[in-house]
Structure 1
């Protein structure tokens, strides 16, 4: 693991780690850590501007003074000596740069320029005051303070993350609840729709049954009248009359309307003479009997559209080829009927 990774893992600011490694010329972990602890409260200078200014204004190699430690020598190598080239008339060397407005002291011009950009201060002066390096105890205290700050920052970040996660969970639960409610509403609507369809189907069945019963009664009356008429003719008596006193007709008058004319659809059950499961379908009442034959032919290979015949058992009726062009409504098969296909 590199020195940079170790310092980052200790919780130091990555930008400050870069600054420390750059300032100490990557001379090791301990010099970089000491630099971070010593300059923890100092602003981080811009690496590009600082490097450019240093390279243009300072030589690449600066001799190390007798009183300089390794850290100071590294700073001199990067930033140059703050007042090495400038001495006052008394021959005293300037060891730092001081902000006349706030009183802060900086080791080099790069830090002073950075302070000027951030604070807007523009009054600086050279100072003979030297920034003393931190003792081991001060370094340890600084490290503890840094770790406490990092722990507080992490705890605050964890609390914010937990709060955000809780808010997201509430939103997710609310969305899930709304989705469940929508699904439940759709399910209830579908149940009501199915119940309404069943109710209409029962009403249609009742109407169809009533129509069939009426047709049966009409057929019974017709057969009774026909039998009475034939008997009177055989006996040579006058034809029987109905309740109104008129002679009974030879045949029942054709109904003015076909039962079930108001139904739009017709439910059919087709039983095959060859046996098997009955076929069921629902067709528009305007469909022809030929369409029924095509449906049956499409469901089984034993039926041919051109040769199939249909029979209705109740009331008994045989449909001919001429009926294939007539609609189910005209044939009296609405709203439901049972046919035998052979």
Structure 2
């Protein structure tokens, strides 16, 4: 075997082998080895510029004695063998061809597989092994491929089942949420309907009250017009009108049975205007004068003047003179109540 083949079998790069042989001018195996050792850290130059004169290799061992060089070559051949140096070196030093797990005994082809096994199993004790993992046969490859496909199919089926369960759970959550929202919507709608019913009921009550007020006002206006027409007719015909009862009997002080009519302390008066309108009702002291009645009436309406107003009674028919304005209600016989016509 040539020196080049021996160096390649030793594991040196082809470019470095070519550089070493050319730099040493092919003077033998030992000079090439020395060159490779000395220039292990140096980059490989362009071989066209390399010559034997630029070689950094030292001269042959023993001062260049051919006998010493032959002895060295024979020693190397004894170690590496003649024609099989690379393979004998591999036999001299056992090479690690696999990695074995000391805890379970499994053998792995490379470090990556061993690390994967360590992550999955938690094992942390490994050692190098000279056991060589044989390559799979075609039949074994087919079996492995079929097994891999089966595991992948099972994994896909399991994943599909989990996704289906998750989708079903999500659908149940969605339906439950929709049901709750629908229930809340129905409750809100029922409350709104109840409020609307109450509002309409209140509107009907308000309308009924308003109609009652309008009706009462119409009746009051009709009665007032009828009373006014009756008064005007009585005035035209000179007929005395019957005395009307008090508007609010509860407001009239009930007479005391033991007190005579002329001894009532208060007198209730209903004063009607000759030209119509709402009557004025008041309660004065029985000792109040008729002028005080005129002053009261003037304070209620601007159409009355104390100095010009006249008072009369229809029942019994009586016309009060100006001289009567200084007399008390008791003296005029107006107690305990009376109806006066002011003009």
Fold match by TM threshold 0.5:
no
The TM-score, its normalising length taken from structure 2, stands at 0.44
The TM-score, its normalising length taken from structure 1, stands at 0.44
Q: Larger Cα Rg: Structure 1 or Structure 2?
A: 2
